[in-house]
Structure 1
Amino acid sequence: MMPSDTHKIVIHADKTPAGEHVRRLNVPTIDEVAIVIVRDQFQPRDIVLHRRNDQLTTFAETHRCLQYPIIFWDGADGYHFNVKMIDPVSGKETNMKCSARNYYSYRLMIQENEDNHILKCRQLVHQYIVDMYAKIKKACLIFIRLNQTKLHSEEYVHLRDPVVNDANTTNIGRLTILPSSYTGSPRHMHECAQDAIAYVHHYGRPELFITVTCNPAWDDIQQLLLPGQSPVDRHDITARVFRQKQKSLMDFMVKHEVFGSVHCWMYSVEWQKRGLPHAHILIWLYNKITSNKIDNVICPEIPNADVDKDLHEVVMKNMIHVPCGTLNPNSPCMIDGKCSKRYPRALVSNTVTGNNGYPLYRRRSAEDGGKLATIQMRNGDIEVDNNQWVVTYSPLLSKTYRAHINVEYCNSIKSIKYICKYVNKGSDMAVFGVQPERSDRNAVIHIDEIAQYQAGRYISSNETVWPIL
């Protein structure tokens, strides 16, 4: 770009490509440091120095020096291919080479009796970790690209389909595959979705669909922050704490059987441009939850503060859908003048499970014993209209983990098929431009799954910490 040029990058969440899941293409809801991968990510990301004598000097991106001099002002070496692993017992170098992921994981660690200044750099360390994560994934994908013969890519039947349909075997180009062993790849997510369908075939429909979101106000996070820091400055802490909370939640449901004995379960962790990790969980139970027991497990009502003040506080803080519509037309959930989450919900005196989808949960009006509450908004306090704005939750889980934990009951094949695909939809993406393509029937066919996977990848600073650690 010329110095006089001005450009604006716009992420279009409403331009979903054919075959892509709409929930992979959200608009960012917060300001964050992120990388959007464009076109061929395998081009060199060299560092070019403009010397005072107007000469240019190029250094490879894996050079041990000249990266982030503000963070490493003392000239400390960065990662390079000859870094050796250290024996933790003797403290001496071994013959094993250190991988990029292990190196940057070490850099982000809280060292005992040492002050890790990198963790004090706020948004600069966000840029550092997304840049280094891109380097890590680039190395992994280059290895896969250079070892296609070991994957026997020519034997993948569906990759030969375009050639068969084209009926012109002289136009066979490269077949580059991204195997299912690569976590997060389309093949990997497709296998997970097939597993979910196999569970449905063998055990029937899952009973519960649970979404749990990291709560930055958790004491476990707040107590580890340095003076003057907020949770957004320490993605390493939020990732570690959420990981432990997620494991605890699964043990709570599976091992302690708070909802009954569990046949099987599966979950995936996502970010979706929200700045905090959240997990989607499917639970299959031995004893099915009958319609008359749903109200004992799932509740979409404001609890009585006089009976359970603690639960009332958690629900009002985490489980209220921010009023939208005429009350807040600029809410992120508003699409074409309507709430995409279907709020406010209808008031019903009893739970109804006969509809073809999610049940209509009991949301009692004030005449039936429903509660009123007040919510603080930027334009002033408003009174919540009974239970129409409450997100469905489990009183047991919400009170135990004090976070946004949405619980839904699955009661139809239609909802099950959608949920199995939704949980395994894949990594977040961004549509940031449109480029016309020419159709040439005589062109050579190149099927590059690695390039297709990387094109449009949206990688946030919060997401990068998870795989690095």
Structure 2
Amino acid sequence: MGGKIDNDINSGNGPFTFRMHGQNYHKIGSLLPVEGDLPRFAQLYVYDTAHEVQNRLNALAKGKNNELDEGILSGLIKMLDEYNDLAKVFRIARDRYESGSKEVFSIRLLKNKERGRQFDLPQGDEIAGLIVGDMFIPNSDRDIIVQPRKDKPQYISFLHPSYMSLQYPLLFPYGEQGYIEKTIPYSSEGNATKRSYVTMREYYAYQIHTRLTSPGTIVRSDRLFHQYVVDAYTAIEQERMDFYQFNQKKLRADLYNNVCDAIVQGDADSKKLGNRIILPSSFIGGSRYMVENYRDAMALCRWYGNLDLFITITANPKWEEVIDHIKMAGNENAYDRPNIECRVFKMKLEKLFKDLQDGVFFGPITADKEEDPEGFLLVEQQMMHGPCGPKCMDDNKCTKKFPRPYNDSTSISEAGYITYRRRFDETKFVMKGNTMLDNRYVVPHNLALLKKYKAHINVEWCSRSSAIKYLFKYITKGVDMATMKIEKQQTLDQNKGDKES
């Protein structure tokens, strides 16, 4: 799996998170390692299989070999050899290699095999085959040809039906083929869409859906499920990017005159003009998406005036709906099923919108521990910032500017930032571990919202129109980024000539 996997985020202070930067891709190497190298990945099925268990242990990251059970590893190898059709093809290559045959052979992984019945198990000759001798086979450019020895691995297309089964053999123990474009038709009953076939997004959504009548291997794979979901998501996004690239006329991208825009900006050199790809405003996080939402918000402010509140809601893994589903589905905790947390969060968010539109909330409310023990407990659990960990600190200071100062009244700075009233009372505090948090650590909130949704809901007073653009940057800000410029470095002779002239 390509891309840069960020392991620093899992410092032990929170739930496991699989995060990756850069473009995702899959590669497959040759059948045999280069002379002097140890076998890795698919080579473990073919080369030096007499010591396969130890070779697989050696192929893992250092320091983790002692944590693995060799008996379990041997059992998994035996299972794949018996049932996985992709593994069987690699074992055939092993048999030819160990027999001393001098014939040149490769493995051909088929790409354009038409899908049969949805629930049929695959057959070995339908997904792969062994090529002996001539490598130049008609239409082989559409397949993956695994060469005997090759210095560099080759890319696997995200549209290849074996894309996932090669990467996750334990999730697809039979070597099942994955998504194949325009091969899974919709049911004729109740189909109101213009499309005739299932899309890639719908296919993966079907795979990660809980079904109590099926084994649910994918959704019960814990941390591997996180990686699989990210892998599927990047494949879906890549398919969308390809559609935008090859359907620019349908998106009416010709309305944006690249040459005129470049000349206005001063880029008169035609060699510096690239092939610009226009992303529609429906692409979340794109520049047109940001501009469109910002202008819509400005139009609303122009008609109705400045906004009053800035509300941020965060998912709560302890929601009753999430816990009930996790128990029913057979998972250990909510962090094993981020898709369920997302679905419940989406339902809660839509309900919150409806409540705000119907005017359910924001009446005058006062509460403390004696008068409202439920509200006090929810504030203690959800709305206290701290104690701060390493990721929250910068130069020994909290990046969120906690603890906030005590104030007798609310005030607004010239930049539009709010300093809320925080009354001093040394008798009112909560304990988070061994840390005492008083009124200076309370995140601004609305108690009625907090009681109904039982989640971290930050409510801020939006006093200036300049804060509105921040709303749309906030939800799509992503990870930290930097701009880099590459320039050609002058040689010593050129520098000398410049000085003399």
Q: TM-score range by the shorter chain?
A: 0.5 to 0.7
1:235 is aligned, of 322, 338, 341, to 338
Alignment of 1:64 onto 2:64: no
Separation of aligned partners in 2, 1:254 and 1:317: 27
Equivalence for 1:198: 299
- SS of 2:432 mapped into structure 1: strand
Alignment of 1:423 onto 2:408: no
Alignment of 1:394 onto 2:446: yes
Equivalence for 2:404: 345
Give the residue type in structure 1 aligned to 2:218: I
Count of aligned residue pairs for this structure pair: 360
Shift of 1:102: 0.8
1:373 is aligned, of 429, 437, 456, to 429
Give the residue type in structure 2 aligned to 1:231: A
Separation of aligned partners in 2, 1:436 and 1:73: 47
Shift of 1:406: 0.8
Shift of 1:409: 1.2
Shift of 1:352: 3.7
- Residues 377-401 of structure 1: CA deviation (Å, up to 9, x unaligned): 3xxx23334x111111101111111
Alignment of 1:34 onto 2:19: yes
Alignment of 1:220 onto 2:317: no
Give the residue type in structure 1 aligned to 2:444: T
- SS of 1:84 mapped into structure 2: coil
Give the residue type in structure 1 aligned to 2:401: R
Q: Contact 1:398–1:405 (CA<8 Å) still a contact in 2? A: yes
* 1:291-302 matches, cutoff 5 A: 296=364
Provide the identity percentage: 28
Distance 1:247 1:201, change over 3 A: same
TM-score normalized by structure 2?
0.63
The structure, 1 or 2, with the larger RCO (C-alpha pairs under 8 Å, 6+ apart) is: 1
- SS of 2:374 mapped into structure 1: helix
- Residues 232-288 of structure 1: CA deviation (Å, up to 9, x unaligned): 10012101110111111111111244238xxxxxxxxxxxxxxxxxxxxxxxxxxxx
Distance 1:141 1:158, change over 3 A: same
Separation of aligned partners in 2, 1:217 and 1:154: 49
Alignment of 1:252 onto 2:355: yes
Equivalence for 2:89: none
- SS of 2:250 mapped into structure 1: helix
Shift of 1:356: 5.1
Separation of aligned partners in 1, 2:190 and 2:297: 46
Q: Contact 2:18–2:226 (CA<8 Å) still a contact in 1? A: yes
Alignment of 1:320 onto 2:372: no
Shift of 1:90: 10
Identify unmatched segments of 5+ residues in structure 1: 1-6, 14-27, 261-295, 325-329, 441-469
Alignment of 1:384 onto 2:437: yes
Q: Contact 1:101–1:136 (CA<8 Å) still a contact in 2? A: yes
Alignment of 1:310 onto 2:407: no
2:234 is aligned, of 130, 134, 141, to 134
Equivalence for 2:69: none
Say which is worse superposed, 28-37 or 394-403, in terms of deviation.
28-37
CA RMSD in angstroms, aligned pairs only = 3.5
Alignment of 1:107 onto 2:156: no
Distance 1:129 1:428, change over 3 A: farther
User: Which is strand-richer, 1 or 2?
Assistant: 1
Shift of 1:63: 2.8
- Residues 188-234 of structure 1: CA deviation (Å, up to 9, x unaligned): 12210111122111111111110110011111111111445111100
Give the residue type in structure 2 aligned to 1:383: M
- SS of 1:187 mapped into structure 2: helix
Shift of 1:113: 3.3
Give the residue type in structure 2 aligned to 1:390: V
Separation of aligned partners in 2, 1:436 and 1:163: 21
